Amino acid sequence: PVDGKVFFRNARSRMSYENFNLFLANIKKLNSHQQDREETLRNAQRLFGEANRDLFEEFKVMINRHP
């Protein structure tokens, strides 16, 4: 399974400061029911970009593990 703390540490070190903060805002919107999972995943995929596709795949596993 994906370790959340390790995932966020890796994301923070590999993403730009701006994109990481946008990613966190994206998660907050999901948690406050302002957007659904599909929209959250679309936004995350765009923010991670092709260079961080592995992080996006890990995020998909994490987000689908929590109903």
Q: Letter for the amino acid at 59?
A: F
pLDDT at 53 exceeding the cut of 90 = yes
Which residue, among 1, 47, 50, 2, has the nearest Cα to 25 in the 3D structure?
Answer: 47
Q: How many CB atoms lie within 10 A of CB 23?
A: 22
**pLDDT given at position 67:** 60
pTM, entire model: 0.90
pLDDT single digits (tens) 2-34: 789 999 999 999 999 999 999 999 999 999 999
Mark out the alpha helices in the chain (DSSP H runs). Answer: 4-14, 17-31, 37-48, 53-65
